[in-house]
Structure formats: structure tokens, C-alpha cells
Amino acid sequence: MNIILLGPPGAGKGTQARRLVEERGMVQLSTGDMLREARTSGSEMGKKVAAVMDAGQLVTDEIVIGLIEEKILEGNSAGYIFDGFPRTLGQADALNALLERNGVKLDTVVEMQVDDSALVARISGRFTCGNCGEVYHDETKPTQADGVCDECGSTDLKRRADDNAESLKTRLMEYYKKTSALVGYYYARGELQSVDGLQGVEEVAADISKALA
């Protein structure tokens, strides 16, 4: 099964993608994670995109399509979760072409609906484990022991450079200007299902499971 999780920054895509990986053995393809890895590795591409990401703008279609293509060519049988990709109509068209060329079928697109005030609260409290990638929140999902990841015991807990009020404003506007058009795009193709992302993590997960059934 291959799915897209579509939604604004902070909607809970990464949180739900990790559950699907754990429960179904699917492969999470997060372009945000790939770009952050490129930055950490110090690659030329990573250097090129750093300022754009910190400002909260989208990097070029060409770069993210290239990253996704590399992963698709590696192959996988359990299915992909596209998380944070596509984000423009150009990326959506490119993904269709790429999937078709590689004989991969897109099963459904799950839109996670969350309003702006909740997104701000979610993003301003987000931190993640630098070792295993577990996603936390100061209020709704703190670690059990202060400063230690519940999953892997690492103390490398991080906040993202772009999880600040100024960058978030830009990221939200980028979403409404460039990405939200994909809701109509996938609806018109009969591929869209929407879930109420304002619910708790368990309830959202249950609704996603229904959408995938």
C-alpha cells in the first residue's frame, strides 16, 4: 500500500507516519527529514537549501523530486508513506509520472485537517530525538524522564531551527499558497480522504486506519 499524508506543518504527519512504519512495516519518505540529513552531512545540496529551509520557504521542485526518485529506485515491497511530499502541483505531477514509470500504485491520499491555532501550539512545543527520530511535545507528549528519549534512551533531544514563530508564519503561508491546492487535485482524481487531525493521536490513527481499509 502506498499513501500520501497531506497537511500543513505540525498537522501530525510525522507522528502518524512513524506509527504506520511500526505497525505495518511501511517505509516513511519524508522530504523534510531527507533535506535535514543533507544539511547535517554537509553536502553541496544541503548547503544550498539551508537558508531557504530556515526561512520557511519551499526548496525547488527539482531537488525534492530528485530525492524521492532515488528512494523509489531503491524499491520496497511494504509500501511508501509520502510525508511532506508532494507540496506543489509540479511535485504531484512528477510523482504520478515517477510512480507510473516504476509500476507503483498510489492507493490513497489522507488529508489531515488542523486549524492554524493548533498548528502554532503543536510546532512551538515540538522536539525530537536526534537518535531514533521519536517526536515529542512539551505539553501533550513530554518524555517520561527529563531530557531522555523514552524509545531509545538517547539524551540527544533537539528542536528544529525552523520551529520558530517567524518561520512558521512563512511555512503556513507556503502551505496555503502552494500545497493546499493538492486537496482539490487529489479530490478530483478520487484519491482524497480527509481526517480530523485535531483529535488525539490515537483517534487520528484510528481514522487513518479506516481510510486505509
C-alpha cell at 42: 554537509
CB of 210 to ligand AMP, least distance (A): 25
In this structure, which amino acid lies at residue 129?
C
d(CA 34, CA 28): 11
Given the rule CB under 6 A, which of 5-13, 45-53, 95-103, 178-186 is the region that contacts ligand ADP? Answer: 5-13
Q: Under the criterion CB under 6 A, does residue 65 sit at the interface with ligand ADP?
A: no
* Residues from 65 through 84 that contact ligand AMP (CB under 6 A): 84
For ligand AMP (CB under 6 A), the number of binding residues is 17
Q: How far apart are CA 183 and CA 111, in angstroms?
A: 7
CA trace torsion 66, 34, 47, 123 (10° rounding): 130
Binder of ligand ADP out of 37, 200, 209, 210 (CB under 6 A): 200
Q: Which stretch binds ligand AMP (CB under 6 A): 27-35, 132-140, 143-151, 182-190?
A: 27-35
All cell numbers assigned to 110: 489522507
**Quick one: which of 213, 210, 208, 211 has its CA closest to 17?**
208
Q: ω into residue 8 within 30 of 0, thus cis?
A: no
| 12 touching ligand AMP, by CB under 6 A | no
Enter the C-alpha cell of residue 136: 515529542
Q: Is 171 a catalytic residue?
A: yes
Q: Residue 82: which of ligand ADP, ligand AMP, none does it interact with, CB under 5 to 8 A by kind?
A: none
155 interface partner picked from ligand ADP, ligand AMP, none, CB below 5 to 8 A per type: none
Decide if residue 16 touches ligand AMP (CB under 6 A).
Answer: no
The verdict on 10 binding ligand ADP (CB under 6 A) reads yes
Choices 64-72, 74-82, 94-102, 137-145; region in contact with ligand ADP by CB under 6 A: 137-145
Phi, psi of 179 (to 5 degrees): -100, -35
- The rounded distance, in Å, linking the Cα atoms of 4 and 175 is 15
Is residue 137 at the binding interface for ligand ADP, with CB under 6 A as the rule?
yes
CA-based Rg of the chain, rounded to a whole angstrom?
16
Is 18 annotated in the active site?
A: no
Binding positions for ligand ADP, rule: CB under 6 A: 7, 9-15, 122, 125-126, 135-137, 140-141, 200-201, 204
